[in-house]
Structure 1
Amino acid sequence: MSTPVTALQAFAHNHDDLPAFHAGYLVLTLLMAAMFNLGAFGILVITHIALDIVKYRDCYGFCWKITIKAAVRESLVDITLLMVGLVFSVYLHHNVGIASVSGIMRAEISIIRVVALLIPKVKILHHFLKIVSHIHLYLDRVHPRLNEKWSALDLLCFTFITISFFMLAIAGQAMSVSYAMIQQILMEELLPWNV
């Protein structure tokens, strides 16, 4: 006799083999990415980092230095995507110089902005949901490159993060707008309750 719990367990065991599950997952991911601002995805990244700290400190008993390095390795791409998304959100915002052109150009920039912000959000959400859906597997393994040098991709991510911080720092001067406007845009993007 099949109970709802048994049916749910069967679905949980076989969901990766169902094309309809992947299609629904993709649609929900796109909807979530379109609905929420970068702050909501920042919370996901922070949650992932916190989970890594618990994983490496409590489960594996690593020292703080190795724990921080492992947490950075696990979330580096997400942090990079978040920072690049912030740069796009500031530089392509409709209230600032580069996007304050008329008509068709403004519409094109708005479309570019939507795509530029949607890609990091989808990737961050996908990565987070993948971890949550396979939490036991995630907790049972140490990052495979934990004791290796930083890879070329890692260094590229650090470079993009640095460039993103620099571009955000000079955004007011680069676009001839006040830093109050830049702060307003960043708050609009980073406060998760500003949906």
Structure 2
Amino acid sequence: MRRAQVDRSTSETRISAAVNLDGTGIYNVSTGLGFLDHMIEQLSRHSLIDIELSVEGDLHIDGHHTTEDSGIALGQAVARALGERTGITRYADALIPMDETLTRVALDISNRPYLIWKVEFTRDKLGEMDTELFREWFQAFAFNAGLTLHVETLYGLNNHHIVESCYKGLARALRKALEIDPRKADQVPSTKGTL
């Protein structure tokens, strides 16, 4: 089983994150930010990655450190669970409709981190979360998991639907890209021989 745990402690946050890449989408998430909890639960459910995440952050300041550091810790846990990335499908994409919204996510589990973020919001907050923090979470996750990640909302009106379609798109693309390719289960999917 591809599993890992990361414990991260700074002056701003204390985090425990654990993942099972071969799970069934079981989650236990507590960040102190209800909307972020909801999004990470969506990530778990639709990727089938089991996620345990506990965060104590400096929410008396704002949600920035909690959001970014949760992305860092989860990304690091995914990278550790992947190990040498042997046998993975590697590339995947997802097109996610959510009512009036349509979002496209494409990724490469390349160990060459990059984020393209083409998502716009018309509100400053969703629940207690600043909408600008969602990009911070995706960047932290992508850079620490070693993903080349492209996220683009093609159209949408409802800000909740827009961000939720981004997380569900990431989840569905991860689910496919993390699968072991039975024809190359013993090989790293790169002509370099390493990722």
* Greater RCO structure (CA 8 Å; 6+ sep): 1
Q: Structure 1 length normalisation: TM-score?
A: 0.28
Q: Structure 2 length normalisation: TM-score?
A: 0.28
Structure with the higher strand share, 1 or 2: 2
Structure with the higher helix share, 1 or 2: 1
Query: Which structure's CA Rg is the greater one?
Result: 1
